Copies of this chain bind each other. A is one copy, B any other.
Amino acid sequence: MDSRIRTHADILVDHCTDLDPSDDVLIRAPPVAEDLAVAVAERVGEVGANPSVSLQSERATRAYLQASDAEDFETPEHLLAMMESADAFILVTGDLNTAELSDVPTEKLAAFRRARRPIQEARMGKRWVGTQFPASGSAQKAEMSTEEYEEFVYEAVNKDWEAQRDHQQQMVEILDPAEEVRIVSGDTTDIRMSVAGMKTVNDDGRKNLPGGEVFTAPVPDSVAGEVLFDKPLLRHGREIQDAYLRFEDGEVVEHDALKNADLLASILDTDEGARRLGELGIGMNRDIDRFTYNMLFDEKMGDTVHMAVGKAIEETVPEGQPLNESAVHTDMIVDMSENSFIEVDGDVVQRNGTFRFEDGFEE
């Protein structure tokens, strides 16, 4: 087996979920990622925890969905019972065909996901991690050969996460006590928001592997200005290009896109919270040096910031602060590598992708 797969597995078991012998752990992966499931199972055995390894067939999910009536979906109690009883959860994604669910009607998929939401919620209370296996379909979506994509994934994933955490902590210490953040890029993006009272999280690759961002929640009503998300966003297999949002008093008052503007509109129309920001994140994983149409990687890319419309991430919103609620959480990305800066409480803290705590920073 590729030794990089074993390294990946060790990080999942030791760093991300920190398993101990008393843990019941659920491992889910697509069949194409069986090698990673094998390596994880081996490490789980060494640790002495109790695994359930389940390879998930998206073809079976599609067949079930196509044959079902959307009104029939119920929460499967046996899956819920398993998740509630588990201590930890390792979820591997990776596709032979990223379009496997493309012919399932969107409304049916949404109804299915609603029925399974209690299982997602049960998961949130556990130690869990989501990660990626470099399958050929995922490589295709990233417009890379499978071999090159493997190299890309393992560079991003198999890192010294303590060193990465220390590096990111410098940005956490700037953002966590801050009042106001301003993001400027070219003449298309100039947006301000308050982060006062919110908590900045250091994503050192525990819940997401790769990690590599710091993120917080804007005060929902405080967001003002305009932003052009110049990195594309893939949604239900369709690409939204150059999404543009203008905010007043925290709410989207104008929106457009170069391609699939209707899809962007439908996201914003989901509910009231979908027209407000729930997250501001700053990508800091420099081993992610290209866009691969996979948000797990894209949002951590060096020299980018991302904002999500919709639900805020609970750990960024302390008790008593306003938490933006929504059924959606849609991340969108701004390239900050050129002609761009991040300002925190009036001071420039990043210019053209270089942080003020790094060599080469220009005030």
> Which of chain A's residues 42-60 have a Cβ closer than 8 Å to chain B?
42-46, 48, 50-57, 59-60
A50 and B74 in contact, given A57-B38, A60-B38 (Cβ under 8 angstroms): yes
A103 to chain B, nearest CB (A): 14
Contacts of A68 in B (CB 8 A): 45-46, 48
Residues from 75 to 107 in A contacting B, C-beta threshold 8 Å: 75-87
A57-69 vs B, Cβ < 8 Å mask (1 yes, 0 no): 1011101111111
Determine if A57 and B55 form an interchain contact, defined as CB atoms under 8 angstroms apart.
yes
Q: A137 at the A/B interface (Cβ < 8 Å)?
A: no
Given that A61-B41, A82-B78 are known contacts, is A72 also in contact with B48, CB under 8 Å in the complex?
Answer: yes
* Most central of A52, A63, A69, A86 by chain B CB within 10 Å: A63
Is A125 an interface residue when CB atoms closer than 8 A count as contact? no
CA distance A43 to B40 in the complex (A): 33
Q: How far is the CB of A7 from chain B (nearest CB, A)?
A: 15
Q: Are B72 and A52 in contact (CB under 8 A)?
A: no
| In-complex Cβ contact of A57 among B34, B72, B76, B87 (8 A) | B34
Total residues of chain A contacting the partner, CB 8 A: 51
B64 and A76 form a contact (CB under 8 A): no
Residues of chain B contacted by A42 (CB below 8 angstroms): 63-64, 66-67
Interface string of A17-55 (1 = CB under 8 A from B): 000010010110001001001111111111010111111
Q: Is the CB of A76 within 8 A of B53?
A: no
Q: Which residue of chain B is the closest to A27 with respect to CB atoms?
A: B60
Q: Which of B56, B63, B65, B72 contacts A54 (CB 8 A)?
A: B56
Within 8 Å CB of A51, what residues of B?
A: 60, 64, 76
Contact A67 B85, beta carbon cutoff 8 Å: no
A60–B83 Cα distance when bound, in Å, is: 20
Q: Are A45 and B64 in contact (CB under 8 A)?
A: yes
CA distance A302 to B298 in the complex (A): 61
Q: Which residue of B lies closest to A82 (CB)?
A: B82
- Asked if A24 and B76 make an inter-chain contact with CB atoms under 8 angstroms apart, the answer reads yes
Which B residue's beta carbon lies closest to that of A67?
A: B45
| CB within 8 Å for A38 and B63 given contacts A31-B55, A81-B81 | yes
Docked pose: A22 CA to B37 CA in angstroms: 32
* A-B CB proximity, top 6 nearest: A45-B67, A55-B55, A82-B82, A81-B85, A42-B63, A45-B68
| Apart from A46-B67, A50-B74, A51-B76, 12 more pairs, CB < 8 Å | A24-B78, A31-B31, A39-B63, A41-B63, A42-B63, A45-B63, A48-B68, A53-B56, A53-B57, A53-B61, A54-B56, A80-B85
